[in-house]
Structure 1
């Protein structure tokens, strides 16, 4: 279905996957909460809503919002291959590996060449272990890593096995580069940016990120959140609910 299809005939309880283009600075949970609230106003009082694959607030692009029985597909959808386009700033690092925190250290970039960048990307392609960012939602004994980091506690994050299927240089304009990444579940593009800096004997951090594909879903078919919410507001369900008497 295209983003323009009519939602009035959709049985959301039977299951529906909304391909949403997540706005900048929204959390994935913010999007789910807003969709769930709109569905409740449309008459779906107890419907389940979840998402398949978290996007950071500073990232945009495809967020799969699973509604009704489609929530049973969350694990399978999360396991599918993802594609991203990312801008990386060379010569500086931040504690969060992105723009959430200010630069904490700078490095020389005079030695960096286009050929060197392409060699670094090739070295990072394939199956390997990756350390998640310190400021991430990974849990350590029940507590989110970013909560421990913000409290100033030392955090040791366990490495995870990931696969970078393709890592391509799209633009080269020092100190900025743009890359396209096809990767497995669990890959942190923020960590990848950091690793690129290390491969180049410099530093790097992520400055923008957009998820362009998740499994078989592409950004071309994604709803803008405002458009999706407008369509949901037009729904008049045929569901009936017991009247609540006031005493």
Structure 2
């Protein structure tokens, strides 16, 4: 068996990495990059971010992968932009917007009232285009083929839902929520409640538990740091 380098041993003993996931990368893309650069297989992330989202991704290596469920269960904070007046099949920009109704008469007061109605313990229907499994297969595979997908509402808690700015047709929001909450679904339901439709057009995860995105490294910075250490 090939002897581990000192750096590999360090990551095998376990590290918690705070990374700022780039736009258009999947969470698995980040994990694959980390595996490739530190040269160990035992690497995993603590909570998926969609490709069109950026922000805090916790990646655990070696023995610390046992902590993944602990981190996944912690409270999360997001900054998001909802675009009013249309909706999409995926509830975000991975599919084409379909016009619903003009949002020109929507006020900030309307947005705050609707946000308040979604604050607290709610039942939320996940998006049909999600990785939730039915019959052992992710439901998005059926949804992409145009098949009808029926998902049951799930209990989630929205601890804070703040309206930060209204720039029609866009609304900037801050959401603090429990694990399992789909911000895409929140955007869709928010638009339905306003009567004009909405979809998620921008998403950034800023916090998981006590970990904040300000503490995170870019993937490129982490890779450069490891390669520099390997060359010492």
TM class by shorter chain equals over 0.9
For residues 98 and 81 of structure 2, what CA distance do their matches in structure 1 show? 19
For residues 215 and 8 of structure 1, what CA distance do their matches in structure 2 show? 28
Shift of residue 71, structure 1, vs aligned partner: 0.5
Shift of residue 185, structure 1, vs aligned partner: 0.2
Aligned positions, number: 227
Q: Deviations over 1:106-138 (max 9, x none)?
A: 212233111111000000000111011111111
Q: Deviations over 1:89-112 (max 9, x none)?
A: 011001000000001232122331
For residues 16 and 143 of structure 2, what CA distance do their matches in structure 1 show? 34
Q: Report the equivalent of 1:240.
A: none
For residues 119 and 32 of structure 2, what CA distance do their matches in structure 1 show? 36
Asked if 1:181 corresponds to 2:180, the answer is no
TM normalised by structure 2 equals 0.94
For residues 205 and 9 of structure 1, what CA distance do their matches in structure 2 show? 43
CA contact (8 A) 1:86 1:180 kept: yes
Shift of residue 15, structure 1, vs aligned partner: 1.0
For residues 192 and 92 of structure 2, what CA distance do their matches in structure 1 show? 15
State the SS of the aligned residue for 1:99.
Answer: coil
For residues 123 and 194 of structure 1, what CA distance do their matches in structure 2 show? 14
Shift of residue 12, structure 1, vs aligned partner: 1.1
Shift of residue 10, structure 1, vs aligned partner: 8.0
Q: Report the equivalent of 1:18.
A: 17
Instruction: Structure 1 unaligned segments of length 5 or more: list them.
Output: 1-6, 238-247
Q: Report the equivalent of 2:166.
A: 172
CA contact (8 A) 1:87 1:177 kept: yes
Q: Residue 113 of structure 2: which of 103, 116, 119 is its match? A: 119
State the SS of the aligned residue for 1:12.
Answer: helix
For residues 157 and 233 of structure 1, what CA distance do their matches in structure 2 show? 45
For residues 196 and 97 of structure 2, what CA distance do their matches in structure 1 show? 14
For residues 80 and 230 of structure 2, what CA distance do their matches in structure 1 show? 40
CA contact (8 A) 1:51 1:64 kept: yes
For residues 10 and 19 of structure 1, what CA distance do their matches in structure 2 show? 19
CA contact (8 A) 1:79 1:185 kept: yes
CA contact (8 A) 1:8 1:234 kept: no
Shift of residue 9, structure 1, vs aligned partner: 10
